Amino acid sequence: MRLPEIHNAKELEALVCEIGFLPFFAHEIKGFSLEDCCPSSLWFSETEDGPWEWKGPVARGRKCLYGKFFRGRAGYVSLEWFPDFANFRRDGYDFDARFEDELASFKDKGVYDVLAAKGSLLSKELKRLCNYKKGGNTGFDGVITRLQMQTYVTIADFEYERSKTGQTYGWGVARYSTPEELFGYERITSAYQREPAESKARILAHLAKLWPEADGTRLARFLK
């Protein structure tokens, strides 16, 4: 499949909804990323919004989910495909059950429990409440990446600092939430009726239709 050239957030959202999965950065499956289909002039343009600025609007649109979903790197998953994606990645476990079976660490549980209780938090708020500061806990980036890879956490938005004149500046600060908070437990867990292996097979079959030139090993590694 040859992806269309993307020029704005609406086109990006439409593409993710069409194909289901879209990594942010280029990887071993050639042509299958936002980096591959967005003009280089938009990545760091001083006059136009580009991929960095589109993340917030697409996440707020609630048709797609954004997070570190692909081998610890960022990307998008459509709401249509996310239940199967979550069922496969969670291996049939809600977070509490994963922790009870000793498959999640106390650090992971601490971050997840605070976020689930609050609904959503900016990364700096989440770090403060979970004592990730000098002399406190360490390894926040590893924890929050792992929770996203397991689909228990997603990024709901990006928020920017504002100048005295109301202009935004700097890099957006991630606002984290749980998929269940954003879309409801029933919607997110609607694929739990299937075995995780079946959800994985459904996703792989879908991707194989889109990228027939990619062998099964590369597709499976992409989903790992």
Tell me the pLDDT of the chain averaged across its residues.
Answer: 95
What is the predicted pLDDT for the residue at 124? 95
- Ranges 18-27, 37-46, 81-90, 124-133: which has the least confidence: 37-46
Give the number of other CB atoms < 10 A from CB of residue 131: 11
pTM of the model: 0.94
Under the banding of pLDDT at 50, 70 and 90, the label for residue 5 is very high
Q: State which amino acid sits at residue 30.
A: K
The widest CA-to-CA distance across the chain, in whole angstroms, is 53
Under the banding of pLDDT at 50, 70 and 90, the label for residue 184 is very high
Query: CB of 10 within 8 A of CB of 63?
Result: no
Q: What percent of the chain has pLDDT over 70?
A: 96
Tell me how far CA of residue 73 lies from CA of 27, 34, 42, 43, 47, in angstroms. Answer: 10, 12, 20, 17, 27
> Per-residue pLDDT for 164 more than 80?
no
DSSP 3: P
Query: CB of 191 within 8 A of CB of 83?
Result: yes
> Per-residue pLDDT for 166 more than 70?
no
Q: How far apart are the first and last CA of the chain?
A: 22
